[in-house]
Structure 1
């Protein structure tokens, strides 16, 4: 005769004991992990300002040139309009 037939409640107790031990082990592992690092108050400032400036300089020059070209084109259109054209 099997012991499970004679004592069916022992199988249930044994299963609950395994689940309980597993849950206890998970709690112990979770308690042993270090706490996460706290975020800093402000983000770190970028250190690559030279690269940013080197990229920004040609863009600023192009914007300046475009403004000059647009102003000259406007003056030319106005001169044509004033001439009756």
Structure 2
């Protein structure tokens, strides 16, 4: 009886250790929260760059108008 119990326990332990291991995940997709945060941070930066470009363009137009009004066409 004792031999049969040991044999059954040994068989169960052997079967429990026979599972095929899963391969590790090579590449994880970014979490949706991280993508939303990146988009939320990028939007104000893009707006600031657009505002800077518009300001630079307005400055050039103003300089050209001043040059035309004073008759000074030489750059500083």
TM-score range relative to shorter protein:
0.5 to 0.7
SS at match of 2:28: coil
- Return 5+ residue gaps in structure 1 as ranges: 1-36
Q: 2:35: which partner in 1?
A: 49
For the residues of structure 2 that align with 1:68 and 1:39, how far apart are their CA atoms? 47
* Larger-Rg structure: 1
Q: 1:10: which partner in 2?
A: none
For the residues of structure 2 that align with 1:39 and 1:46, how far apart are their CA atoms? 13
- Return 5+ residue gaps in structure 2 as ranges: 1-22
- Check if 1:73 corresponds to 2:35: no
For the residues of structure 2 that align with 1:45 and 1:75, how far apart are their CA atoms? 47
- Check if 1:63 corresponds to 2:49: yes
**Superposition CA RMSD, Å:** 1.8
Q: How many pairs were matched up?
A: 47
Displaced runs of 4 or more, over 4 A:
none
